[in-house]
A = this chain, B = another copy of it.
Amino acid sequence: MEVSPVYMQSDDSEQDRPAYPRVFPTGEARKSDHLKAGLCVDFPVSVVLPAGGTGERTGLQTPKQFCPFLGRPLISYTVESFERVSWIQTVVVVVAKENTGLMMDIIQRFQHKKVLVVPGGSTRHRSICNGVAALGEQRRPAAHKPKVVIIHDAVRPFVDEDFLHKIATAAKEQGAAGAIRPLVSTVIATTSEGYLDHSLERAKYRASEMPQGFTYDVICEAYQKCTESDFEFGTECLHLALQYCGTNAKLIDGPPTLWKVTYKRDLAAAESIIKETLSQSACLITGGLEAAVALANVLQKAFGALDMVSTAAGCQLSITTVTMFNVLLTNL
C-alpha cells in the first residue's frame, strides 16, 4: 500500500509550545520529571500509534480514539504522553484515510509537534507496517532511522516515561520487549460444541498489553517475512518477531494504567482518571506559591473565552480552575 505521510513535526523548542493542561498518569510519572537525566536513552526512539479502529465495541458512532474528554480527544492525550518524553523523536499516528483531516485538525488545535500522520491499512498489522515503513522514509536532514520503535495503542492514553524507558531499553538489548499484566479472568479452552475443555493454569499466563518495543531491524524483518494470513488475522507483533526473527521478547510487568479503552463504560473510567490526574497536578502548586495563584487568576479570565471545557457539563467552573493551575505548572 502506498504510504503518503503528512509531516507535522517542527523544530520548535518545547518552550514555544502554547500552554495546555498536561496529563500526568501517576505520581511516579510526575516524580520522573526530576530524574530525567537517569532516564535518558542514547539511541533514537520513535513511536507508531495505530489509530484506525472503528470503535465498534464502545457502541458509539465516533471511533473511541477521537472521543472528547474535557474537550480534548483521547488520542491527543496519548500523543501528549509520548511528546513530553524528551528522548522520543517522532510519533507516527496511523489513521483511516477518512479520518486524516480530523487528525490534522487535532494536531493543529492541540499544537502537537512530533506527529507524522500516515494512512492506515485494512487490518491492524497493515496499519502498523505502514507506520514502521514511514519511519524509514523520513528525508529531513536531522532525521535518523530509529534504533527502537515503540508500538502502542491510541486508546491507551496513560503511559508514563519510566515504563517507556524500560520497554525501549529492553527492546534495544533483546530485540523485542512487551508489557504484560496479570489475567483478570481465568482463561478456558472450549470444545467445538461449546463445552469446557480445560482451564489454563493462571500463574503461567499473562495478558499481553501495549506498549511493545522492537529494534527497527527486527520489526522490519518480521513484516517483510510474514504471510498475508498474518497481515489479515494476526494480532500480536511479539509473536511475529518470535516466529520470523527468532526473537524472544522480554516481558515486563506494566502498571494497571496501561489498560485499553475498549467498551463504552471505559470512557467514563478514562474521564475519571483524567479529571483525577488534572486535580492531582493542581495540588502540586497550591502550597505557597502566591505568585502562581495570582497568575492563575489572570489566566482564568483569559481562558474564559476559550471552548476548552465544553464537555464537562456541570463541572465547568472547577475544571477551569484546575486547568489554570495546570497551565501554571507547565509554564513555571
Could you list which residues of chain A lie within 8 angstroms of chain B, going by C-beta atoms? Answer: 57, 174, 176, 178, 180-181, 183-191, 194-200, 202, 204-209, 235-236, 238-239, 242, 248-252, 256, 259-260, 262-263, 265-273, 314-315
Are the C-beta atoms of B196 and A249 separated by less than 8 Å?
Answer: yes
Task: Report whether B188 and A208 are in contact in the complex, using a CB–CB cutoff of 8 Å.
Answer: yes
Tell me the bound Cα distance from A183 to B242 in angstroms: 22
CA distance A178 to B189 in the complex (A): 13
Instruction: With both chains docked as a complex, state the minimum distance between the C-beta of A174 and any C-beta of chain B, in angstroms.
Output: 8
Chain B residue at minimum C-beta to C-beta distance from A182: B57
* In contact, A265 and B260 (Cβ under 8 angstroms): no
Residue of B nearest to A174 (CB): B195
Contact between B199 and A187, CB atoms less than 8 A apart: no
Given contacts A269-B265, A271-B268, A272-B268, contact A208 B195 (CB under 8 A): no
- CB-based closest 8 A-B pairs: A268-B272, A265-B269, A185-B207, A195-B248, A196-B249, A186-B208, A269-B269, A199-B239
22 contacts across the A-B interface (CB closer than 8 A): A57-B256, A184-B207, A185-B208, A186-B207, A186-B235, A186-B236, A187-B187, A187-B200, A188-B205, A188-B206, A188-B236, A188-B238, A188-B251, A189-B205, A194-B251, A195-B248, A195-B249, A196-B251, A198-B239, A199-B208, A268-B268, A314-B315
Partner of A266, one of B207, B269, B314: B269
Residues in B whose Cβ lies below 8 Å from that of A315: 314
- Whether A191 contacts B268 in the complex (CB less than 8 A), given A196-B242, A314-B315, comes out as no
A264 to chain B, nearest CB (A): 8
Task: Kindly identify which residue among B188, B197, B200, B209 contacts A185, using a CB–CB cutoff of 8 Å.
Answer: B209
CB distance from A185 to the nearest CB of B (A): 4
Residues of chain B contacted by A239 (CB below 8 angstroms): 186, 196, 198-199
Shortest distance in angstroms between A271's beta carbon and chain B's nearest beta carbon? 7
Q: Which of B204, B262, B270, B314 contacts A189 (CB 8 A)?
A: B204
Q: Which chain B residues border A197 with CB–CB below 8 Å?
A: 248
Q: A184-B262, A199-B239, A259-B265 are in contact. List 8 more A-B contacts (CB 8 A).
A: A57-B256, A176-B196, A186-B239, A187-B205, A188-B236, A191-B248, A265-B270, A268-B268
Shortest distance between the CB of A154 and any CB in chain B (Å): 16
Q: Which of B194, B235, B238 contacts A250 (CB 8 A)?
A: B194
